[in-house]
Amino acid sequence: MRLENLPKSKETKGIKRVGRGPGSGMGKTSTRGEKGQKARSGSSIPAWFQGGQSPLYRRIPKRGFNNKRFRCEFATINLNALDKLFNDGDIVTPELLKERGIIKDALCGIKILANGELTKKLTVKAHRFSSKAVTKIEKAGGKAEVI
């Protein structure tokens, strides 16, 4: 026996049609009870809604320290991007990267990541390097200089 050969059964029951007159037993209020916010059409109340009173997350005071305002993010560049956009023997600096439109903003600095292969001999000056990026740059015959 296979799935498509199974006999038809009444397991797939149709949906209950409510609000079709008093004889159906589900007319008038259509199983919504009496009045109130949830009885109205278009009613969808978020799970965190507490009936209009000031919600719990606003009643409890904020505590602790969040470093989000003071964090230092680095603009990241992969080696494959450097390989495409620079010639053999070039010196790569943050100013040159910004000038060529590789990065929009230097943020706290520039970090070179090791994604892709580097085939050209480049001198890369950046604020940070991943350890694999340094080995790949030196393997290609270039230099990784920390600013």
Domain ranges for the chain: 75-146
| pLDDT score of 59 | 93
* Full-model pTM: 0.54
| pLDDT score of 65 | 87
Strands 91-92 and 143-146: unpaired
| pLDDT score of 105 | 78
| pLDDT score of 53 | 92
CATH of domain 75-146: 3.100.10.10
- Angle ∠(89,134,77) on CA atoms, nearest 5: 75
**Alpha-carbon dihedral 121, 123, 124, 130, rounded to 10 degrees:** 60
The secondary structure element, H or E, covering residue 144 is strand 143-146
Rounded average pLDDT per 10-residue block, the chain, 147 residues: 78 83 90 89 88 90 87 88 86 87 82 88 90 90 88
| pLDDT score of 61 | 92
Residues forming a β-bridge with 91: 123
| pLDDT score of 52 | 86
| pLDDT score of 51 | 86
Please state, as a whole number, how many other Cβ atoms lie within 10 Å of the Cβ of residue 78: 16
Query: Secondary structure of 1-61 in the HEC alphabet?
Result: CCHHHCCCCCCCCCCCCCCCCHHHCCCCCCCCCCCCHHHCCCCCCCCCCCCCCCCHHHHCC
- Angle ∠(89,94,98) on CA atoms, nearest 5: 105
Contact present, 134 and 104 (Cβ < 8 Å): no
